[in-house]
Structure 1
Amino acid sequence: MPTPLKLLILEDNTFDAELEVGRLQAAGYDCDWKQVQTREEFEACLDRPEFELILADYNLPDFDGLSALSLLRERGLEIPFVLISGTLGEERAIESLKAGATDYVMKERLERLAPVVTRALNDRLERANRSAAQQALRDAHRRLQALSVRLLQVEETERRRIARELHDGIGQLLTAVKLRLAGLNPSSADYGSRRGECVAAIDDALEQVRRVSRDLRPSQLDDLGLLAALRSHLDQQASSAGFKPNFTHEGVPQRLAAEIETTCFRIAQEALTNIVRHAQASEVWVTLAGTEEELRLEVRDNGRGFDVAAARLRATAGSSMGLLSMEERATLAGGRLAIDSALSRETRLSLTLPLVPAGAEQA
């Protein structure tokens, strides 16, 4: 099957241009080509750089190949540029390569043209792939830096929150109980009521301990598994935020590998937290589905939506790390995360994780 090729030819001789195209077509290229002869025509083509390759005659009556190459480089265009000449000597050939030409071909040796073009196009593809990989690496590094900074901030914030919970809540309750117990007199008339107050205060303190512990890690996740923990958390969030919860599941084993359960629960937890804080949703749907190979989670709400690209930029800048932390969790577990949303429409989070049976990670 012919290889499509968008080709720009800078050549004042139409016969020579047709010869070059003929050589490429014979080598399997389907050329969509345009011939130009002047600087003005060449610059007009560069203003809409749709071409994949440029063939340029070294000598033209009012223009030349090296000047054309200079114009191409000034615009920062990475289009392979091959010089064609009938009189190009070795010294000028070296000069053209130093100036940035991809290669050169003598007109009396046009049989070299197709291999030169193939190599130039392959080199361009390799450079583009390498550039994309380097950019992806830089982006990942920036995300990692932002996530590391945010992780330290979140850790310190969480420590302050727990310290405040212990001091202001549980600590004060226990202090009050201590003082009441110190003043208890079994022979006094109000002994029974004051003892009851102490028991109630201790019960209150125990409930606060359970709440702090549940916030750190729900016991249901370890004791009963992902389904029970996720359903319980959805109901709790719905009760506090006032939205209607919908929970469905199909084909999910009772227990999964701990890493998979934790990753899925934490991502769902973050998604529900974002819904409560920002979405103003009246209804939320959480769906879990399992196959032999993977676990799929979907969290959907009918709230006001958001600009995903803008949120990702803010997260990379260190503003809010919820989105990045979910993506990092999914990646570390070998999964994929996708978020589909826009302003004034529903938001849909989709997570896919490899389904590893419980205990397999120790095998």
Structure 2
Amino acid sequence: MQKSQDFSKYLFLFRLLLSMIIIYNLTIYYMDHSFLVWLIFFITMCFYVAMLWSNFRLTIMHIVIFTVFLFSMIWLSAYISKEPQDYNSVLWAWFVILSFISSREQKVATVVLIIVGLVMLNSGLDNGYPYSLIIVLASIYFGIHSLSRYIRVLKINSEQLTELEQVHLELQRTYKELQDSTVQSIRYAALTERTRIAGEIHDGLGHHFTSLIVQMQALKWMIKQDPDRAESTVDQLLDVSRQGLAEVRSVVKDWSVHEGGVEGLQELASQITHRAGLELHFDSQGTFSIWGEVIDSVLYRVLQESLTNIIRHAEASTVDVTITETAQHVQLSIADDGKYRREHPLQYGFGIQNMIRRCETIHGNCTFAARPQGGLWIKVTLPLSNTSLPKN
């Protein structure tokens, strides 16, 4: 940008210098020639000055017309004065202007420039061969062409610099938006993690604490009324506490790592149903791929919550767990023979809502239906991710 401003100053000084030379020539002509010849010269120079200070771009037609006009003025001044005229001062300015125009690759301007140069050399033959004039004309021509190329390169560099500055500003805006998006993502991840932990605590530990509270409330009455039964209840409380402790350890282990796949689900179902005294029918049909941590975690927690709800509310004696896999989905089915009937609407508590939310998070679904013979049927369908490994 600084170079562009410097060039503008140099261009202004060049125009000013050339204008002063024209004014000087006008003064000399006025002193040495008649008023009519001077007037012709004045009109010609006015065209020069107008072209110098305007941003008007000369076309081929303008160049030809003005060249014809210039030679006509020279011929007219010579005809009026009836004596030879030194018209090189008139041609100098036009030669400089044509050099600028020819630097923009206008071939007609180059041809006209050569004609003007030859006319100037011809006028200097009276004093011998004009070596110095040839050198001056060549210096002006090549100097102006070099300056014009420098100007074009400077303009291109200035445009590229402006474009780079715009790209830099755009990158800064994009970086700021990315930072804001990252902060929002971190906040969302933290909120999601809190919700997940809340579900883990509810699914895994809630029923143990509920059982402890109910039995401890009854224990207070049993100690006075039935000490033998109170002692038995204490043993039950210890068993529930141990189960709760085991569940805490299981949850902590699951937050770090737990066995995935069909084997992990079968082990979980066997442990829970064995502690609750339920009969388990576990069926895994076909071959299975390695699902990945996300699907493993969802299936594990949904099965855990389903079995916990069966123990708490269903009054069931048998649980059927079935797992199947197709090319696009894995399905988990949990059915019990409990007291649930179609006539009674299902209560969507926190546990069931958490199961649905887990499935929908990975674009799956979780449905609930009553079995014809009684009991609840839960069906979970999850899409297999592209990162699942091939089937064994």
So what's the TM-score if we normalise by structure 2? 0.35
| Structure possessing the higher radius of gyration over alpha carbons | 2
Higher helix proportion (structure 1 or 2): 2
